[in-house]
A and B are shown apart, each in its own frame.
Chain A
Amino acid sequence: MPHEIISLQIGNYANFVGAHFWNLQEAGFSYNSQQPTSREVDVDVLYREGETLRGESTFTPRLVVCDYHGSIHSRRAIAGGLYQDDNEILDKNGNRIESGQGENTSWDGTVKVEKQNPEEDAPNHFLREVRESHKRIPVLPNGLTKRRRHADYGLEKSVRTWSDFLGVAYHPRSLSTLSNYWINDLPTPFDGYSAGLEEWRSCLNDSLQQNSLEESLRHFVEECENMAGFQLLLDGHNGFGGYSSALLDHLSDEYGHKSALVYPLFPPAPPQSDDAEGNARKDCQGLFNYGLFVASTASGSGNSSTRLHSACVPLSLMSKLTRPRETLPGLPLAHFRPDSFYHTSAILAGAIDSFGLVYRLSSPERVHLRDAVDAITPHQRKVAAMSTMLPFPLRQNDSLFSALKAIDAEYLPVTSLTPHVKTPLIDSQNRCYSQIMSLRGVPRTRWQCSGEEIRSYRLSHEVASMSANRLFEDFMSSYCPNTYGVGRVTELPCYTALPFPQFFSPSISEDGFTVSSGNRIEDVKRLPVMAGLHSTDKVADLLQELTTTCSKTTLNKYPRLLQSGSMELDEYKESFERLQELAGRYRENDF
């Protein structure tokens, strides 16, 4: 019986991360009967089997997404021709043409056809190829025979939104949009937390809403035999933050006993305009919204018996959200473009996917989502940090033991993906309460030490015969000796095939190994990755920044922060106090 998890992606950036995430999932599937899909992972946790009206079977994510109104203009493209209506025909560009059969029964009078921005919706090179290769059901390049190099597709240029590089099909029911806000909407942008709260309410009542998120969600839940909970990616910096808070409340009401792993995202800042005052206000607004979201999800208040059991993991490739903002200079072995949604979201997706293996394992070693959430939220410290090594440095002939041993204690190439939190593992001053980590992409043959290693390191029999998980947990506790930790090692690598960006250091080989002489010609196809969640006192630094931002001073300076929506001053004050209280929990000494 799978412990199903339903994924939710709320907001435009969240959907960028999500698109990479599902591409990575799909890349891990094999359609080759000679080399069947790895059984290490239970695919039913994230995926559902379905059937079209024509009786074709389908395999799509248990997923509900929400983006701006009008932003999912290529519903057809995203749903990938799965579940296509029967009387529709597609032309060669994937456009629908009316069937022409029979008279038009929709109206007695004239019907005026209005094409909406056709040029904007033209598929890019990547999408065209995906569609061509699989006429109606696009699946990832995995099954394609043609040699394809990332550089040939110019995705850095042609990706404007997440559907431009989504190589998999979502179930049509997965798609939903806001009802009142368009992307870059003027004169009323969706930039306030409270506007998001209001939008949720209006979506519930809106009769025009075709696919209400709430209804779709219910359908996906109904299908589950024994759902473990939710994985929620959301844009925390704008109205989607408020929308997601309301969504979480809804989840609590309806599915209170389930667990949720919540990832509020903070995307790269858009290019600044030359209006300094306006920039400052916008930046402040983003942080303010983010703070309110964290306060509402992580404060653990409310009726705790019905409250969703959740952990909140703030993510960004910016290391500092307050002005002047700072982005991560890059990962040690991956040099992404810090201002690119397409690039930064790929890193986040890689880390989230890799971590998630711990609760998707098919073996009894699987960590139930509920236990994972419990483990990283000790003492109501509901905010945790995420770290990653993407890729994890693994040389061609390393065993797991020597790879871990080779990691330099001084220069640990671990990157923190939680802003304002310095790398959780590295600092001996840092207090880590608990952690769960996943290391993937280490071939099973390397899990045991070689005879040579046993001899040269003089390993005891006990160490030499340790399971991979134990070895990894030992490694974890060598950095954080008193920290409760769970580690899981998997063989399945992260498949970074097209359309995953190729931003890797030259010292990574095609197969993802670290090599000394970098002369890679082909794209990197797979990677070992390490990713983990940590409950650490460093989180207090982030919470402190958010508290400062949400303080009264900011509000005095920018009174409009509250105006755009329904939030009352009292509600806001309450959130602010929760945030302070939450930050306080990380300074207490009890653990």
Chain B
Amino acid sequence: MSAIMAANPRAEVARASEALAINISAAMGVQDYLKSNLGPKGSMKMLVSGAGDIKITKDGNVLMHESQIKHPTAALIARAATAQDDVTGDGTTSIVLLIGELLKQAQVYMTEGLHPRLITEGFNAAREKALELLDQMSVKLTGDDREKLLEIARTSLRTKVHSKTADLLTSIVTEAVLAVRRDNEQIDLHMVEIMEMVHRSEMDTTLVRGLVLDHGARHPDMPKRVTNASILTCNVSLEYEKTEVNSGFFYKSPEEREKMVMAERQFIIDRVEKIIALKKAVCKAGENKNFVVINQKGIDPLSLDMLAKEGIMALRRAKRRNMERLTLACGGIAVNSVDDLKEDALGFAGSVYEHVLGEDKYTFIEDCKNPQSVTILIRGPNKHTITQVKDGVRDGLRAVLNTLEDGALVPGAGAFEFALREHLLKFVNEGHVKGKARFGVQAYAEAFLIIPKTLAQNAGFDGQDVMVKLQEESRQSHRAVGVDCDTGNVSFPEELGIWDNVRVKKQQINTCTLIATNLLLVDEIMRAGLSSLKADGS
């Protein structure tokens, strides 16, 4: 809250109840803004700037990011959503709904005179139970359950992109994560390169088992396509640059400088010649072998010329991260000095070729042996489609990664939230909560229903009706029940393969409880230009 203090030091202190009202209305404002986006049937938002720039998204995190939030309470909630995304990559819309609903439910009891402190006590008790239930409901993965990985990827993707695209991407993201996984090591998603191309349609998005670079050879005589290629990954300057030595033009005579320039130039030539020598050693005549240099540093025209004459394909200024990716995809090691040039530093790719689109060049490095770095090449007719797909792919990758790291999944479609309500009410009715704190537990229980209810509403069904159906079914079958967004009936998410990540739920439970508690317990709030505070979060 010190932030508001800074915004207007002369702000008046508002009375506690008023402060609470402000917090609640801000939280509701943010909730309203995101509510219609939740779930597979949520609506997509197309944000169009006055100048016509388009952004298509239904991701809570993106939407929070794209609106300037001036209200401090709303900003706090937005930060919680961002943190949720940083940690888990998912569940941001839900967390905003949950915070809003917790406050709303609390308010019902507070208008009847209940002290916020008692409610928050209840919240904390309920949080414990929620984590416990989460554990109980989790379904453990046995070994490499590829089927389940595909299911979680599909669930995630279908909440972000068109179902046809989602189905295409499902196996792409799953295979990508599995490809970069190495024994006994943490999976590094950075080893999945995401490359975009304004070309054809999103349905032409592919997984390249190798690397796609967003630049090409810079010499007209270099080959555009080679097979059977040794790959030299290096970080060695092949560019003649002015340095201290030959600079300082007011101390030296032109002749002296010219000499130094020549000497330095020779230095670079020597480096290039060493590379050429290695090429000659590995690509013997008649063997149809080729040589590709991918350098993180610059290569100037003279050096390019020398390399081109030897039929070497050379790329300069590769991304720093591609040094690691290249060696994982093709083998070999990245070389930092020409002294380290030797045959076993080289990697291999069955085919390397260039693809040109307007001024953009792409270099495909494919047919690698057991690549441990891969590329998802996203195509689409325009920038905003690509961005939408890219956001979806990121979520999908995270979902698969989370699953592998958790070793478990929870049934989705609101199943957990619905079960939690039943679980908590039972807990209260059995008399486990002392005193008035039980109203807090009840409020918590009701609040979590916002998820299944909203899923139903966004699919065009009456939330209340669907809740009644869920209740009836769960009492009969004692199974995890969720919302069927196509029919408005009960579904069994485990059967349909609709899953959520355990860590997403865990983080949600912890964060929403914490934030709601903080907002309820705020004793005073600075009245920082109350009239100008916008509750709509935008």
A371 CB contacts on chain B under 8 angstroms = 242, 247-249
Task: Give residues 51-92 of A contacting B (CB, 8 Å).
Answer: 51-55, 58, 69-70, 73-77, 83, 85-88, 90
Tell me, yes or no, whether B162 is within 8 Å of chain A by CB.
yes
Measured between C-beta atoms, what is the minimum distance from A57 to chain B in Å? 9
Q: Residues 225-262 of chain B: 1 if any A CB is under 8 Å from the residue's CB, otherwise 0?
A: 00000000000010111111001111000000000000
Question: Are B359 and A51 in contact (CB-based, < 8 A)?
Answer: yes
Q: Residues 367-395 of chain A: 1 if any B CB is under 8 Å from the residue's CB, otherwise 0?
A: 01011001100000000000000000000
Measured between C-beta atoms, what is the minimum distance from B392 to chain A in Å? 11
A105 CB contacts on chain B under 8 angstroms = 162, 164-165, 201-202, 385
Tell me, yes or no, whether B468 is within 8 Å of chain A by CB.
no
Q: Which of B7, B42, B301 contacts A1 (CB 8 A)?
A: B301
Determine the residue in chain B with the shortest Cβ distance to A309.
B244
Q: Given A53-B198, A484-B250, are A186 and B7 also a contact pair (CB < 8 Å)?
A: yes
Tell me, yes or no, whether B44 is within 8 Å of chain A by CB.
yes
B320 CB contacts on chain A under 8 angstroms = 254
> Which of the segments B60-68, B145-153, B176-184, B495-503 contacts the partner chain?
B60-68
A225 to B303, CA, bound (A): 11
Question: Are B237 and A110 in contact (CB-based, < 8 A)?
Answer: no
Question: Are A187 and B48 in contact (CB-based, < 8 A)?
Answer: no
A106 to B385, CA, bound (A): 7
Tell me, yes or no, whether A462 is within 8 Å of chain B by CB.
no
Q: Given A96-B52, A112-B45, A118-B50, are A226 and B239 also a contact pair (CB < 8 Å)?
A: yes
A258 CB contacts on chain B under 8 angstroms = 241
A73 to B66, CA, bound (A): 11
Question: Are B68 and A182 in contact (CB-based, < 8 A)?
Answer: yes
Measured between C-beta atoms, what is the minimum distance from B220 to chain A in Å? 13
Q: Given A50-B359, A74-B53, are A109 and B46 also a contact pair (CB < 8 Å)?
A: no
Q: Which of B47, B202, B247, B317 contacts A218 (CB 8 A)?
A: B317
A445 CB contacts on chain B under 8 angstroms = none
Tell me, yes or no, whether B13 is within 8 Å of chain A by CB.
no
B52 CB contacts on chain A under 8 angstroms = 76, 88, 90, 94-96
Q: Residues 309-346 of chain B: 1 if any A CB is under 8 Å from the residue's CB, otherwise 0?
A: 00000001101100000000000000000000000000
Determine the residue in chain B with the shortest Cβ distance to A215.
B319
Task: Give residues 1-38 of B contacting A (CB, 8 Å).
Answer: 3-4, 6-7, 9-10, 36
- What would 27 A/B residue contacts be, using CB atoms closer than 8 Å? A52-B358, A74-B53, A76-B53, A83-B358, A95-B50, A96-B54, A105-B164, A106-B161, A107-B161, A108-B162, A110-B43, A111-B45, A114-B45, A179-B65, A182-B68, A185-B68, A187-B4, A187-B528, A208-B65, A222-B215, A222-B317, A226-B241, A227-B298, A275-B9, A309-B244, A370-B242, A560-B6
Contacts A109-B44, A111-B45 known; 16 new A-B pairs at CB < 8 A: A51-B358, A70-B66, A76-B52, A76-B53, A87-B381, A88-B52, A95-B50, A107-B58, A109-B43, A110-B44, A114-B46, A120-B50, A188-B3, A219-B214, A226-B240, A277-B9
Write the residues of chain B forming the contact surface with A, with a CB cutoff of 8 angstroms.
3-4, 6-7, 9-10, 36, 41-54, 56, 58, 61-62, 65-66, 68, 70, 72, 75, 161-165, 198, 201-202, 214-215, 218, 237, 239-244, 247-250, 298, 300-301, 316-317, 319-320, 357-359, 381-383, 385, 387-388, 391, 394, 528
Write the residues of chain A forming the contact surface with B, with a CB cutoff of 8 angstroms.
1, 50-55, 58, 69-70, 73-77, 83, 85-88, 90, 94-96, 105-122, 179, 182, 185-188, 207-208, 210, 215, 218-219, 221-222, 224-228, 254, 257-259, 275, 277-278, 309, 368, 370-371, 374-375, 484, 560
